[in-house]
Amino acid sequence: MTVEHYLGLARAGVLAEDDRVELLEGVVVAMTPRNPPHDSCVTRVGLALQRAVAERAVVRTLCALIAGAHSMPEPDVAVVPGCVADYDHRHPETALLVFEVADASLAQDRLAKAAIYAAAGIPEYWIANLREGALEVRREPEREQARYRELRTLRPGERVELAALPGAVVAVAELLPGLR
């Protein structure tokens, strides 16, 4: 299925706004239910990235991103170029950074979504690995191979700078919820 067909299903009312689905590689996929640590992490990430990015880009949470002709994921957080008004009538087709929060969805986020984002040329993809209390940072997309060349795992106590926005730095501890 193409993004255009998927959007047509929404316009026709076949897919409702409260349907928790996304289009991944031409397949409509149910999204994993969110739990309190997930939602807390999304909130933390959104706030931390907004502080770091300021007015240099737009931080969007739980919004659609067109990532090629057959994928329209809804990343937990995305930093996209431009200003808010740029997306009043269209979904972004690129991002400077995509961020997913993973617990039950860890395998899908590491494999399927990493491949989608790399193939779309997203320069940076971060995963909050709630199982291990770590931040996985993927950089240097190889579009043709649909993979990232660089992978680093960061822990609380470390800091990370957004590759596309020099000077935009966040502490890993700011991003991760207090885990038990």
User: What pTM was estimated for this model as a whole?
Assistant: 0.94
Asked if pLDDT for residue 51 goes beyond 70, the answer is yes
Q: What is the pLDDT of residues 70-92, one digit of tens each?
A: 999 999 999 999 999 999 999 99
Mean pLDDT across 138-152: 98
Pairing of strands 97-102, 77-80: antiparallel
Distance of CA 54 to the CA centre of its chain: 18
Average pLDDT over residues 51-65: 96
Please give the C-alpha separations between residue 140 and each of 52, 77, 125, 148, in angstroms, as whole numbers. 21, 19, 9, 5
137-157 mean pLDDT = 97
Q: CB-based contacts of 70: which residues, under 8 Å, 6+ apart? A: 1, 2, 3, 23, 25, 26
SS3 180: coil
Domains of the chain: 34-175 (3.90.1570.10)
Compute CA distances 59 → 52, 53, 105, 124, whole Å: 10, 8, 22, 14
Residue 16: per-residue pLDDT? 86
Structure token digits, residue 76: 């937990």
pLDDT exceeds 50 at position 170:
yes
Measured between alpha carbons, how far is 138 from 37 in angstroms, rounded to an integer? 22
Percent of the chain past pLDDT 70, that is, above it, reads: 99
> Residue 56: its pLDDT value, please?
96
The predicted structure's pLDDT at residue 180:
37
What confidence tier does 177 reach under pLDDT thresholds 50, 70, 90?
confident
